[in-house]
Amino acid sequence: MDIHEILKYLPHRYPFLLVDRVLSCEPGKSISALKNVSINEPFFPGHFPHHPVMPGVLIIEALAQAAAILTLKSANLKADDDTIYYFVGIDRARFKKPVQAGDQLILKATILRERIGIWKYSAQAEVDGRVVTEAELMCTMRSKQ
């Protein structure tokens, strides 16, 4: 799935769209996506000027965006003006290695369960085959009204 298709599923736009490509997606099961971490990212001038590191909260957000695509594809829905997909919880987050400019971040999410409109995922971010971040995420869709 290229960026044009991703934009149909996520309401996020620059500078907060953190998924560049979906590598694979098995609706109802799992997703693998890609975030190219460029030196031109708007957070690098301040985090940190002499040693650019991607903030951990943005890695988690990138994982949540990949999970959102998985959920919307699983439910056969797309982004619209009436609903929003909220990130509502995180458990067991671990940051194992810094993500730097030039890295390709592989975002993986697997559905653990869905109950009363709350989706729970096991998520991992990898660089060069090494896990750099892992967490369990919870998200839900709600009406904007």
Domains, the chain, in order of start with CATH, read 3-143 (3.10.129.10)
4 belongs to the catalytic site: no
Q: 82-96: per-residue pLDDT in tens?
A: 888 899 999 999 999
pLDDT along the chain (145 residues), means of 10: 95 95 98 97 93 97 97 87 88 98 98 94 98 97 81
Coil, helix or strand at residue 2: coil
pLDDT value for 100: 96
* Options 4, 12, 47, 50, the catalytic residue: 47
Please tell me the predicted confidence (pLDDT) of residue 77: 83
**pLDDT confidence of residue 83:** 81
State pTM to two decimals: 0.96
Those residues with Cβ within 8 angstroms of residue 47's Cβ, 6 or more apart along the chain or in another chain: 53, 54, 55
The angle at the Cα of 38, spanning 122 to 18, to the nearest 5 degrees, equals 35
pLDDT given for residue 79 in this prediction? 78
